[in-house]
Structure 1
Amino acid sequence: MRYGLVVLSAGFSGLLSFCCLAVSIGTDYWYIIDVNKPNYTDSEDLSSYSGLWRINEGSDKSSVISSFTANMSALSEVERHLLTLHKAVVIILPFGLVMLVFGWICGLVSSLAYSPKLLTVTAFYILICSLFTLTGVSLYIEYSNKAMEEFRRIVAQEELAYVRVSFGWSFAMAWVSFTLELAAGFLLLLAAKITQMKGRYDCGVAVTL
């Protein structure tokens, strides 16, 4: 396998993973609540979709999720736990996004340097970035499940029959980013292996000559 093709694929995967994660963090389709009550003409006003920063209800109502400014003492234990989970998500995912920038730069430098050690270190760095993305997404799943449990506790059982919840395309983009981060990391490891093998081959040829 050609070294150039491998490092180009790794660079493209890393860049695409950054774009996917940035779009995911900045959009509001992580979680969708669709209400479809029969004989109710304004069901859309009861539906909502939310992201990491905002909740959009109905057609024109939007509110900011105030995890860091909320008065924790006035909240119940469940609400405090939900806000703690949300805080963790909105810290971990943007931090992972910043880490990806440095990872892409390190990948570019190590690939130009043709250094197996630098390529290996960068590969593991990118894989660590993927762990941040995985942790953030996993915490969001836990946050959503806890919020749904609280919603089911408050809302009457017969009303829940008209409610459908699902993860949106913003959430899916975060998973795509995680997959691409893994691909970039393993491709850099492959590039490091290629440089090692070529170095041994060149040494062998030099000794023979």
Structure 2
Amino acid sequence: MKVKPHAVSWFAALFGVLGFVFLVAAIGTDFWYLVDASKLERFSNSTEKLSSHSGLWRTCRFESTCQPMVNPFKRETENITLPHKQLLKMHGTFVVLLPLSLILMTFGGTLGFFGNLARASLLVLFTGLIFLLGALITLAGLSTYISYFSGALKEVRFLMGTYRLLDHVHIHFGWSLAFAWFSFVAEVLTGLAFLLMSRMIGLERRQNHAI
């Protein structure tokens, strides 16, 4: 079955929008990881809610207000430990990479719209490469975040020592991170669709010249 150019255009537009929306939702929500401390609350007979959920910018207690995370770009880091400094560097990395991917998607979407409208294969090709670069940046941000999460968990275990309170706490990734992964997949599919569109436009032009 022959693939039609307008079908590829609609495919690229759909997944481009989905990738953008998913990443905006991921960056703007506070459910990158969840801390379920319900067992600890029962164990300690605490009336205070200890469960929480965190985003890229802040940590929120359930049924309570949110607190901003430590600014990773502050230079006042002389009195903190080396592992903490590394965590701050990773935090600063992924909070820059993920919005950068959004900027690339916005630029690529605009460029792709005009390139497709003008049937300019080079512009469409460049758009595909921009989306693939954005996907690579998103993947780098996600990988850094997962490393950050693992490092933060190790640091918490070290600081808590022999109290073993974490045995009563369940920590896991949330749906905000899943949205970011969906965005990564959508960016890859959009980039590949634009590359295919560029090839189809080039073949169309060569056929027209031959006629």
After TM superposition, the score normalised by the length of structure 2 is 0.91
Correspondence for 1:171: 177
8 Å contact from structure 1 (residues 44, 58) kept in 2 = no
- Of 57-66 and 47-56, deviating more is 57-66
Distance 1:44 1:134 in 2: 37
1:57 alignment partner AA: R
Distance 1:119 1:183 in 2: 14
Distance 2:127 2:46 in 1: 53
Correspondence for 1:54: 58
Instruction: Let me know the Cα RMSD of the aligned residues.
Output: 1.7
Relative to 1, partners in 2 of residues 1:20 and 1:176: Cα closer, same or farther, differing over 3 Å?
Answer: same
Correspondence for 2:126: 121
1:153-164 equivalences in 2 (<5 Å): 153-155=158-160, 156=162, 158-164=164-170
Q: Sequence identity, in percent?
A: 32
Specify every segment of 5 or more residues in structure 2 that has no aligned partner in the other structure, as ranges. Answer: none
8 Å contact from structure 1 (residues 85, 139) kept in 2 = yes
8 Å contact from structure 1 (residues 25, 52) kept in 2 = yes
8 Å contact from structure 1 (residues 44, 59) kept in 2 = no
Correspondence for 1:27 among 26, 29, 42: 29
Residue 199 of structure 1 and its aligned partner are, at CA, apart by: 2.3
1:38-117 equivalences in 2 (<5 Å): 38-40=42-44, 42=46, 45-67=49-71, 68-69=73-74, 71-117=76-122
- Of 28-37 and 54-63, deviating more is 54-63
After TM superposition, the score normalised by the length of structure 1 is 0.91
| Partner deviation per Cα, 1:102-126 (whole Å, 9 max, x = no partner) | 1100110111111222111110111
- Of 193-202 and 137-146, deviating more is 193-202
Specify every segment of 5 or more residues in structure 1 that has no aligned partner in the other structure, as ranges. Answer: none
Correspondence for 1:198: 204
- Of 190-199 and 122-131, deviating more is 190-199
Distance 2:154 2:191 in 1: 37
Residue 197 of structure 1 and its aligned partner are, at CA, apart by: 2.2
Distance 1:203 1:43 in 2: 78
